[in-house]
């Protein structure tokens, strides 16, 4: 509830600025008045607090002026951020592009020390996306989890910064202690 009041306070402070500045927030069509559109959207958010902040005009304002000034709003990374903070893989499904979607699963799996989440990752042909073996590697190295190494089976891949990722290299890394307890992402 406190965050809603902070958002409303930001809206009140930003209203005079918004009246002078023109930018696209992808607001719902209606009266054409940006202030009315934002206050209507804020009212909707107050009435439905589960509405994602990533589609919120108020959140887009915060992003445009405070979080990433001058950068285009990226809803995929917004969804990823909130999903990881909540530890909720169901929110990862809101992400459209494969790299942030698969990273969402990988980060949550690593944070929860849950290799089972890696089995739920969507398959993809995008070479920049994370794969199940990346997810298992993250769970194993971040949490000193030998079972996650074993779950890699006979699969192996090579990543530029990490090198070979396989059951053998995973177990060897855990044994050596190199980087264990830290994220690999």
Distance CA 25, CA 20 (A): 15
Indicate the pTM of the whole model. 0.70
Q: What is the sign, positive or negative, of the torsion defined by CA atoms of 140, 146, 151, 157?
A: positive
Higher confidence at residue 4 or residue 70? Answer: 70
163 alpha carbon, distance to own chain's centre = 25
Domain positions in the chain are: 2-67, 98-176
**Number of other CB atoms surrounding residue 178 within 10 Å:** 10
pLDDT-based confidence at residue 37 (cuts at 50, 70, 90): low
pLDDT of amino acid 39: 67
Is the pLDDT at 18 greater than 50, yes or no? no
Is the pLDDT at 3 greater than 70, yes or no? no
């Amino acid at each position: 509830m406190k965050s809603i009041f902070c958002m409303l306070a930001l809206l009140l402070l930003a209203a005079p600025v918004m009246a002078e500045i023109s930018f696209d927030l992808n607001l719902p069509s209606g009266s054409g008045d940006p202030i009315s559109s934002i206050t209507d959207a804020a009212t909707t958010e107050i009435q439905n607090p589960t509405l994602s902040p990533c589609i919120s005009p108020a959140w887009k304002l915060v992003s445009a002026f405070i979080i990433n000034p001058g950068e285009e709003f990226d809803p995929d990374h917004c969804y990823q951020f909130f999903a990881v903070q909540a530890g909720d893989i169901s929110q990862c499904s809101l992400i459209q592009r494969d790299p942030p979607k698969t990273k969402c699963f990988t980060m949550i799996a690593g944070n929860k020390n849950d290799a089972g989440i890696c089995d739920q990752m969507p398959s993809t042909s995008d070479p920049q996306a994370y794969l199940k073996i990346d997810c298992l590697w993250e769970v194993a190295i971040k949490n000193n989890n030998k079972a996650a190494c074993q779950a890699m089976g006979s699969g192996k891949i090579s990543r530029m910064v990490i090198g070979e990722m396989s059951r053998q290299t995973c177990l060897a890394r855990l044994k050596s202690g190199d980087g264990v307890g830290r994220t690999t992402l």
